[in-house]
Structure 1
Amino acid sequence: MSDNETNISATTTADYSAYYDEATNNYSPCSFDYVQNFGSVFLPTLYSLVFIFGVIGNGLVVCVLTKHRSQSNLTDVCLLNLALSDLLFVVTLPFYAHYAVVKEWTTGEFMCRFVSGFHLIGFFSSIFFLVVMTLDRYVVIMHAHRVAGHRTVRTAVALSAVVWFLSTCVSMPGFVFTKMINDSQQSCLYAPDNKSWHYYTLITTNILGLVIPLLVMVVCYARIIPTLVNMRTVKKHRAVKLIILIMALFFLFWAPYNISLFLRFMVNESILKSYCDLDNNLKLLMTVTEAIAYTHCCLNPIIYAFVGQRFMKRALQLLGKCVPGMHFHSTRESDSSFRKSSVMSRSSDVTSTYIM
């Protein structure tokens, strides 16, 4: 496999062995011992934390929304699917953490394809559900009267099915082209024969994973913020701050990783001249930025669920019942107080439940 093929595939399927063991047909031999040693400590540590907090946070979201499924609306269904996407994503991380430590894939080719494919599905579906929730937030606030009768659970289920289908289609090359390669050690690599598939993974990761979602957020929230500011609610400033936080965190967590992918691509295509220090720095950059980007899935429950008053009360209520010795008297308020049927109250529902 060429250096170009290995690098692009590695960064799009979290294949850490390729960071260290790639062929060097186009470059003079370089030592990547520092990057390898750093990754064998940094990645397992961070991925373990992401796995623990991701499972706890997203698992609680799933439990709360499932328990109150009879009172669900479109927002709740989207939150549930976002949590499921993040759970699917984080359960693949222990495999890559182990891979980084032992520097060899030990679970066989089936798991190699399975983990890689579901890792990508979790990644894309999580991003797509963030886009759906942004668009839903936009139409509810900007066109509340028009969409009042269409934001049903049936609509939410249909949208969710479309998102999962698209995510699976986009991720299919991960199932098809990821394979076990036995060289000096067993590696799990994304290794299509056609170079075009490497461009495909790079484009989908950057365009679908960053550019389009960020563009949707900027356009929608740029229209939403002036409307919120003009609302007669004391909570509007908190809502505006949270909107800015949502966009800032998404950009700060994902942009560095996508930039590192693009820089690696430019080196592989000889657009940038390669030398040992640059190659080492890029490998280190990709290792760090990719791992940090993955921690965003731990923030989703906090940003989109726990900040909502209704969800927070339900979560505390559930914890009060499940954890011995924990009592939350303030959570006894009935959920019926949150079920508003008037069209005029829907925009404030959005502000108080899943923008806040």
Structure 2
Amino acid sequence: KSYENKSIVADGARDYNHTYVDEHFYYVDNVDGFGITMAILYLVVCIVGLAGNSLVIVAILKLDKMSSSTTVYIFNLALADGLFMVGLPFIASQNFQNHWMFGDIACKAVMVLDGINQFTSVFCLTVMSIDRYMALAEPLRFARFRTPRCAKIVSAFLWLFSLLTILPMALHFSAVGGLCIPDLVSDAWWLGVLSYTFVMGFALPFTVMTASYTALLLTLRSQRLRTSTSNQEGHRLERQVTKMVVAVVVVFGMCWLPFYTFNFCSLYQSGLVLTFARAFEFVVLLSYSWSCANPILYACLSDTFRRHFRTLLCPVSKSSPSMQCNTERYDLNDTVVRDVTILA
């Protein structure tokens, strides 16, 4: 049975993506409108992801200086997402040319780095959901676990755990045949890899995030009802956090669930038609887009990050004070309300 890899691995879980397409369905030398469109979309996602995550990193280092556990996790999330974008041109190049031109060592390096950054991004997001719950439910009780120092230790562990999680599988990739693809041991082995990456990269994090945010919303509502049924500030906070929770969970699910679904479906296809292969390439790009979605969510849902972005991007006019940006330093941890409404 003749196989070719249509979409290269995009991350830890994605690192094991192999869309099998019969050779007579795949055009090697003909670059059509779909290939050009996908190349442009890859470029757009890469530029937006690098620019957005770089802006988040600069905002935290320059304006907040990682003064809270929240911003330590957001910094590591943005760093992982930004570094993940660095590998995107290599992936796009292979998809566009149907050939890996960078050598076997680069193949393994790109797959390892992509896997580390993807898993670290998801793990950071998961830990942040727990951190948000602790900040709201019992802030005094959990205060000693929410210091910047503790967050840095946890973040270092997440990077190490991501490396240990991805390394054994990523090293199965090679470019010996002209494509950076995994050396498949057997169908059972590949099913085990997909199941493992699905659980570690999606199912478990999604479950923890959903549970943490559900508990957070229930706690918010309980506190509001205990305080006052007519508390407008409580209503406002609950609505704001609800929007944040729904946005984070829905975007995470929309970006990753199609990718894993197509991966599992490909196992039971005896001959994948070109339409399926093209759809698979699109969902791979969709999973990549998760890494550039976080800064957009920050800008839309976090008042503090909007202020930080405005401070960095809005030029200061010396001649017109009314046109000047507000350059006041905003502490991301200055109040409980602001702390719990930061995007996580």
What TM-score comes out, normalization by structure 1 length? Answer: 0.81
Report how far residue 284 of structure 1 moved. 2.5
Aligned partner of 1:160 in structure 2 is: 155
Q: Give the one of 314, 317, 321 matched to 2:311.
A: 317
Q: Secondary structure of the equivalent of 1:144? A: coil
Residues 161-200 of structure 1 correspond to what in structure 2 (within 5 A)? 161-182=156-177, 186-193=178-185, 197-200=189-192
Alignment-mate amino acid for residue 92 of structure 2: A
Residues 91-240 of structure 1 correspond to what in structure 2 (within 5 A)? 91-182=86-177, 186-193=178-185, 197-229=189-221, 230-231=223-224, 232=231, 233=233, 234-240=236-242
Gaps of 5+ in 1: 268-273
Gaps of 5+ in 2: 225-230
Q: Secondary structure of the equivalent of 2:146? A: coil
Aligned partner of 1:350 in structure 2 is: 339
What is the distance in 2 between the residues matched to 1:41 and 1:260? Answer: 22
Report how far residue 189 of structure 1 moved. 1.4
What is the distance in 2 between the residues matched to 1:339 and 1:40? Answer: 46
Q: In 2, are the aligned partners of 1:13 and 1:190 still within 8 Å (CA)?
A: no
Structure 1 window deviating more from structure 2 (292-301 vs 67-76): it is 67-76
Q: In 2, are the aligned partners of 1:54 and 1:87 still within 8 Å (CA)?
A: yes
Matching of residue 285 in structure 1 with residue 285 in structure 2: no
What is the distance in 1 between the residues matched to 2:16 and 2:260? Answer: 16
What is the distance in 2 between the residues matched to 1:297 and 1:324? Answer: 37
Q: Deviations over 1:46-84 (max 9, x none)?
A: 110111000100001111111135452100000000001
Q: Deviations over 1:260-319 (max 9, x none)?
A: 11111233xxxxxx35xx543432332111111211111111224663222322222222
Alignment-mate amino acid for residue 99 of structure 1: Q
Q: In 2, are the aligned partners of 1:8 and 1:261 still within 8 Å (CA)?
A: no
Report how far residue 121 of structure 1 moved. 1.1
Alignment-mate amino acid for residue 289 of structure 2: T
Aligned partner of 1:84 in structure 2 is: 79
Q: Deviations over 1:149-183 (max 9, x none)?
A: 3311110111101110111111103542111223x
Q: In 2, are the aligned partners of 1:10 and 1:190 still within 8 Å (CA)?
A: no
Alignment-mate amino acid for residue 90 of structure 1: M
Cα separation, partners in 2 of 1:206 and 1:39, compared to 1, 3 Å: farther
What is the distance in 1 between the residues matched to 2:19 and 2:319? Answer: 48
Q: In 2, are the aligned partners of 1:85 and 1:122 still within 8 Å (CA)?
A: yes
Alignment-mate amino acid for residue 293 of structure 2: L
Aligned partner of 2:292 in structure 1 is: 298
Q: In 2, are the aligned partners of 1:78 and 1:156 still within 8 Å (CA)?
A: yes
Q: In 2, are the aligned partners of 1:9 and 1:189 still within 8 Å (CA)?
A: yes
Q: Give the one of 69, 81, 85 matched to 1:74.
A: 69
Cα separation, partners in 2 of 1:351 and 1:13, compared to 1, 3 Å: closer
Alignment-mate amino acid for residue 36 of structure 2: V
Q: Give the one of 243, 249, 274 matched to 1:247.
A: 249
Report how far residue 87 of structure 1 moved. 0.9
What is the distance in 2 between the residues matched to 1:126 and 1:59? Answer: 15
Cα separation, partners in 2 of 1:70 and 1:86, compared to 1, 3 Å: closer
Report how far residue 202 of structure 1 moved. 0.6
Structure 1 window deviating more from structure 2 (245-254 vs 223-232): it is 223-232
What is the distance in 2 between the residues matched to 1:80 and 1:120? Answer: 18
Aligned partner of 2:301 in structure 1 is: 307
